[in-house]
Amino acid sequence: MDYFIELFCSGLTRGSIYALIALGYTMVYGIIGLINFAHGEIYMIGAFTSFIVATVLSIYGFPLAAIVVVAGVAAAIWSSAYGYTVEKIAYKPLRHAPRLAPLISAIGMSILLQNYVLLAQTSDFLPFPELIPEFAFMEPIAHIIGSSDIVILLTTTVVMLALTFLIKFTRIGKAMRATAQDRTMALLVGINVDRVISATFIIGSALAAIGGLLIASHIGQINFAIGFIAGIKAFTAAVLGGIVYSGSCSGEPDSGPDRKFCHRLYFQ
């Protein structure tokens, strides 16, 4: 039973990371109806950014808590900048092109980012600083679940709750839901669809960066290929889970209270 629980906790930990990445896939697909195949590389860039920041801060003797926070914020900001740039370069110019064109563009961007990091860093695995110490109160169950597992589960739970609040109760979240259901109607009621799409890429990239920091600290090493592998697994999870953008703007497109709600959404 202990071995089963250990495997279960390990799978839950990895699944939490893949869920953070899969959220980026589902959000982008719900807004523009296309898969961002460069999303795994954004996750990888977040891991490398946190690696560089954490290494520098460790050299200067910063406390672990400060290193984790600063590395996470830096990774989220830097990855969001990459996600925003990918949207502007690979997707926006092809928004009205045949669906195959942005798909090929996204794959090309994925290859570009992967080889860019390969040349800028190295093809070898790099040791990631140990940012999460072993907690003393977890010593009796340390053979089943580690401190990093607990931190990952708690962090992903908080992040997902915050994202739920953002989507359901904020102005940008309501604009996202309206755009996901009917982009034309969203334009007619005054929603800046381009800004909503960019915000979606930024939020999804920040979530992937947090996942990159957590998993790199958990396994203790990174390299340029982790984005491709994790991206495939997260994409599979998104597909199996139903890669749609749901929320209050769901239901029949031409009738029902949800449709009426979406028409009023942006003005509340």
- The answer to whether position 267 is within a domain reads no
pLDDT tier, 263 (very low <50, low <70, confident <90, very high otherwise) = very low
The pTM is what?
0.82
pLDDT in tens, 105-124: 888 998 999 999 989 888 88
In a domain, 180, yes or no: no
* Structure-model confidence comparison of residues 138 and 18, the more confident one: 18
Range of the domain at 156: 2-162+194-246
* Stretch 32-39: mean pLDDT: 84
| Residue 255 pLDDT exceeds 50 | no
Q: Is residue 19 part of a domain?
A: yes
Q: What is the pLDDT of residues 51-93, one digit of tens each?
A: 999 999 988 888 888 898 999 999 999 999 999 999 998 888 8
What is the average per-residue pLDDT within 161-182?
91
pLDDT tens readout for residues 123-165: 888 888 888 777 777 777 767 777 888 888 899 999 999 999 9
**CB crowding 69-108: b at 16 or more within 10 Å, else e:** ebbbbbbbebbbebbeebbeebbeebeeeeeeebeebbee
Question: Per the domain annotation, does 260 fall within a domain?
Answer: no
Domain count, the chain: 1
Q: From CA 126, how far away is CA 68, in angstroms rounded?
A: 18
Q: Is residue 63 part of a domain?
A: yes
For residue 167, tell me if it sits in a domain.
no
What pLDDT score does 92 carry? 87
Provide the pLDDT for residue 207: 92
Q: Is the pLDDT of residue 226 over 90?
A: no
Is residue 175 one of the residues assigned to a domain?
A: no
Using pLDDT thresholds of 50, 70 and 90, give the confidence band for residue 233.
confident
In a domain, 257, yes or no: no
41-57: pLDDT as tens digits: 999 999 999 999 999 99
